[in-house]
Amino acid sequence: MANSVAYLGVKKRRYTQNTAMHLVTLFAFAILLIPSFQLSSEPRRRRRRQAPKVQVEIPKRHFKIFEDAKGFQEPLDALLNALPMQKAEVSVYAYNETQGKALFEFSSDASLCPASNAKLWTTLASMELLGLDFRWRTNFYTRGTLRDGVLSGPLVIKGSGDPTIVNEVLERMAEEIASNLRANGISSIPHGLTLDLSVFDNIAEAKGWELENQKDRAYAAGVSALSLNYNAIGVHIQPDRDAKVSRTTLVPSVGYGIVDGEAASGRRARRLKVNTELTGANTTIHVSGRAGYLYGGKRIYRRAFTPANYFAKALRRSLRANGIQVGAQVRTTKVQDKDSLLYTYQSPALHHALTTLNHYSNNLVAETLVKTIAAHVHPGKPAGFNDGLEAIRNFLRTKVGILNPKLKVMNGSGLNRVNTISSRDLVKLIRYGISRPEYRSIFLSALSVGGERGTIRSRYRGKPASGSVRAKTGTLTGVSALSGVVENSGGDEIVFAVLTQGYRKPIGPKDMWAFQDSIVSLIYDVDAVNASKMQSTPSGDVDTTTASVRDDAALKSTLEGDAEKTNPAVVESKPLAASKNAEKSHANLESNKPVDELSDSK
């Protein structure tokens, strides 16, 4: 019995031990199986067979080279088929004005966007329709009776659209007005100023402005019968090392503009933003972000949305500085027959405005000229863009001889992609300007000079063509243009136009500028072209379908090395409307435009 009990005890212990071992084994096995269950619970992914990548060969494109210019074939084809240009739409035409024959072309009848090259038709139409001696006139009248030096009515200002008035001009204008008021015994005008803006209609923005994403930028300022500082206001932000907040001031400080917000002050700038918007009869300036004192103060130019009110407040401040008390009221109404003419300010002659228009690619001047043409063609009617543009189209058809049905003249500045013209027609337009003795010198002086002044001041610098290129630039997002005149090394005058569009990142404006500059350099260096002609054409004509092309990568490297960023210029001699401070204003207005949208263009 005792043995039986002992046996059962041993058996029970073994059973317990075996059970525990089994449980441990099962637990360990379960742990090992969990990842496999997780993996198996996921759907199986079938590997797709990837089709081999097919290299699509882009067909080579070739210039058409005319007689006696065969030396251009190989270098031009190499430029056209280089990597940056392969997906761009291109239209090119070059004409030897001296010898009266075409040199080369590529898709010269294709109508592309000219960007700010549109200012060329505005320039020549203004010379033709307004006359070279044209000047804007701003008239000042007194209304009411005089008693003890106090005028019972307002000072009335009738604007004609003069876009050349800047601070310095306004101050001298105020001195003349104050002198005339004192001569008439007037020292106080408590009823303020009345503005006659009836010369233009109420539409301030030309066609294409509706496509602009940044309507508060200085380059997109609206047209007005009374303008000041190209209808832009300077916002100066001065960071302070000892303060947490930067100081914001408006330039000029004339009581126009409402500052909303403030910029922090720190070692480096961060997300500094300045935007403006219309608020009643004023402009509100929104400031945010941080200014960096390591870089000093920063001045940013933004659009003034009510330019006539801007002009009035600046004039009132200047008159007060000259001892004439003027009330704060600003009204808008027409000049009356009983009003007495006090003073007339005349702008400099038209060619000064045309220089500003093209050297700085000033959109406001261009669109003001469109309305001024309308006022000249239809006197007595409030001038609008449509009438001015129709007059320009008629000029292009009847005077220049551009009959291309694909020509689109939708504004006078080239802002945004609403205009189209072919390179052949653009060359025809330039030839019209330089072939007429009365226009030639003024037209050529209005164009930028490569390596010296204007929007191509930094291009061609240190290159053989520097000083020999006179041209107009044009830049928008995905659009770049250059057209003008080159006097080549042989003394011949070559008219050219290069239009490009449709390129996308990583290809940018610099690649297009390099393409344009390389073509201009080829046009200039006639000896190199002749040498190439001798090597490539031992006898007979060249077959343009078999012209050799350089290695794309090497050529792209060469092009990128030649590209330079365009900077605005400082013109050597300027009229009253463009003194040193005015030149700085021009430069700042241009530099505040994004490079992709330079109205130049950027």
CA-to-CA distance for 289 and 269, rounded, in angstroms? 8
pLDDT tens-digit readout, 251-267: 999 999 999 999 999 88
Checking if the pLDDT of 598 tops 60, the result is no
Lowest mean pLDDT among 26-30, 202-206, 385-389, 466-470: 26-30
Return the structure tokens found at 278: 């219309």
- Which stretch of 161-165, 231-235, 537-541 has the lowest confidence by average pLDDT? 537-541
pLDDT of the residue at 268: 87
pLDDT for residue 422: 98
pLDDT at 32 over 70: no
Of residues 473, 559, 495, the one with CA closest to residue 93? 495
pLDDT recorded at residue 532 = 56
Q: Which pLDDT band holds residue 19 (cuts at 50, 70, 90)?
A: low
Give the model's confidence band at 31: pLDDT under 50 very low, under 70 low, under 90 confident, else very high. Answer: low
pLDDT in tens, 138-147: 999 999 999 9
Backbone φ and ψ for 180, nearest 5 degrees, come out as: -70, -35
CB neighbours of 55 closer than 8 A, spacing ≥ 6?
none
The per-residue DSSP string of 133-194 comes to: T---EEEEEE-S-EETTEESSPEEEE----TT--HHHHHHHHHHHHHHHHHTT--EETT-EE
Average pLDDT of span 216-233 = 97
Lowest mean pLDDT among 72-76, 334-338, 550-554: 550-554
Give the model's confidence band at 52: pLDDT under 50 very low, under 70 low, under 90 confident, else very high.
Answer: low
What is the mean predicted confidence (pLDDT) over 12-34? 60
- Give me 189's structure tokens: 């005008």
Residue 557's pLDDT is 32
Residue 58: which pLDDT band, with cuts at 50, 70 and 90? confident
Share of the chain above pLDDT 70, in %: 78
Q: What is the mean pLDDT of residues 583-601?
A: 41
* pLDDT the model gives residue 560: 32
Residues above pLDDT 90, as percent of the chain: 72
**Taking residues 316-342, what's their average pLDDT?**
97
CB-based contacts of 587, cutoff 8 Å, min separation 6: 567, 568, 570
Per-residue confidence (pLDDT) for residue 576, from 0 to 100 = 31
Write down the pLDDT at residue 20.
Answer: 63
Q: Are 563 and 190 in contact (CB under 8 A)?
A: no
Q: Band of the pLDDT at 10, cuts 50, 70, 90?
A: very low
The confidence band for 43, taking pLDDT boundaries of 50, 70 and 90, is: low
Mean pLDDT computed over 185-190? 97
Least confident among 92-101, 346-355, 588-597: 588-597
Give me the long-range contacts of 395-402 (CB less than 8 A, separation at least 24): 395/121, 395/124, 395/125, 395/128, 395/129, 396/121, 396/125, 396/429, 399/128, 399/432, 400/124, 400/428, 400/429, 400/432, 401/428, 402/428, 402/429
Q: Which residues of 34-65 are buried (b: 16+ CB within 10 A; e: fewer)?
A: eeeeeeeeeeeeeeeeeeeeeeeeeeeebbeb
Alpha carbon distance 50, 64 (integer Å): 42
Q: pLDDT class for 599, splitting at 50, 70, 90?
A: very low
Q: pLDDT tens across 526-538, in order?
A: 766 666 555 544 3
pLDDT above 50 (res 332): yes
Banded model confidence at residue 17, pLDDT cuts 50, 70, 90 = low
With a cut of 60, say whether residue 14 has pLDDT above it: no
Q: CA-to-CA distance for 358 and 457, rounded, in angstroms?
A: 13
Tokens standing for residue 569 = 């210029």
> How does pLDDT run across 275-325, given as a tens digit for each residue?
999 999 999 999 999 998 887 888 999 999 999 999 999 999 999 999 999
Average pLDDT of every residue of the chain: 85
Confidence at residue 242, expressed as pLDDT on a 0 to 100 scale: 84
Average pLDDT, integer, range 68-76: 91
Question: Would the CA dihedral through 528, 532, 535, 541 be positive or negative?
Answer: negative
Q: What is the pLDDT of residue 87?
A: 87
Q: What are phi and psi of 168, to 5 degrees?
A: -60, -40
Range 428-437 average pLDDT: 98
Residue 4 CB coordination number (10 Å) = 8
User: Which tops the pLDDT comparison, 33 or 6?
Assistant: 33
> By mean pLDDT, which of 50-64, 114-128, 553-567 is the weakest?
553-567
pLDDT confidence bin for 65, thresholds 50/70/90: very high
pLDDT tens readout for residues 485-516: 999 999 999 999 999 999 988 999 999 999 99
Burial of 14 (0-12, 13-18, 19+ CB in 10 A): exposed
Mean pLDDT confidence for 459-486: 96
